[in-house]
Amino acid sequence: MKDIVLGYDGSDFSMQALDWALDEAELRKLPLTVAHAWQWPYGDADEDAKAHLRKAAEHVLWHGAECARSSSSGVRVDTDLYEGPAAQRLVEISGGAELIVVGSRGLSALPRAVVGSVAGYVAAHADCPVIIVRGPGPLPAPTNPGPIVVAGKDPEAAVLEFAFGEAALRQLPIMSPADLTEPAARHPGVRVRPYDGTEHPTLVVVGRKRGATNSLLRHAPCPIAVVGTS
């Protein structure tokens, strides 16, 4: 069974991502793996110093897993602790994941950065769809959620399938400037209508190869799903 993987570092951004990842796990009836990576940043170090940092990393991971377990309704929560770059580990385990969820920035991101290096790297290289959680307030919004929006006028099949899957799980409409006739026929329970830009989306879905991806990651006011295409 595949799992939902959460990249977690204890930041406010990763707490937002935890909320979203747990929601995905509950909707999809899949286990959640909370993943945390650590590494000694100062060159050579004695084992005692590294052991102290590892202990701190274990505490961060424990906190994330406990938050998930205390907030879930029966989701199995596993953990993954890795010594090394976080982006590398998330890409490494993405082949066995249904979905990776990360915050838009982590603890190490510069204050003016909109998308952290981990989120950007994982979105560009993961073997599964990646949701980058950004936007104001707690996510996903519990009341009056907006539509799932498909970016681009000619989205690839994988992008459409993911978007329709999310819309079906969340019982939300899909909006897109593209013609969605064929995938809509395979998902008769999902309402489809043109996107006019007046509603705040719950999620924007985009293909990895589209030139608009980087712009969306910097400016979208809501979570973005990046889906790899052939």
- Give the span between the Cα atoms of 82 and 54, in whole angstroms: 10
How deeply is 202 buried, as exposed, middle or buried, from its count of CB atoms within 10 A (0-12, 13-18, 19+)? buried
* Digitized pLDDT (tens) for each residue of the chain, 230 residues in all: 899 999 999 998 899 999 999 999 999 999 999 999 998 877 677 788 889 999 999 999 999 999 999 998 889 999 999 999 999 999 999 999 999 999 986 544 443 343 458 888 999 999 999 999 976 555 555 577 889 999 887 888 899 999 999 999 999 999 987 778 778 888 889 999 887 777 789 999 999 875 556 677 777 778 999 998 75
Map out the domains of the chain with their CATH numbers.
3-133 (3.40.50.620), 148-224 (3.40.50)
- Give the span between the Cα atoms of 147 and 150, in whole angstroms: 10
22-26: which pairs have CB atoms within 8 A and are 24 or more residues apart?
22/68, 22/71, 22/72, 22/75, 23/140, 24/99, 24/101, 24/131, 25/72, 25/75, 26/72, 26/73, 26/75
pTM across the whole model: 0.90
* 58 sits in which H/E element: helix 47-71
CA 130 to chain centre: 5
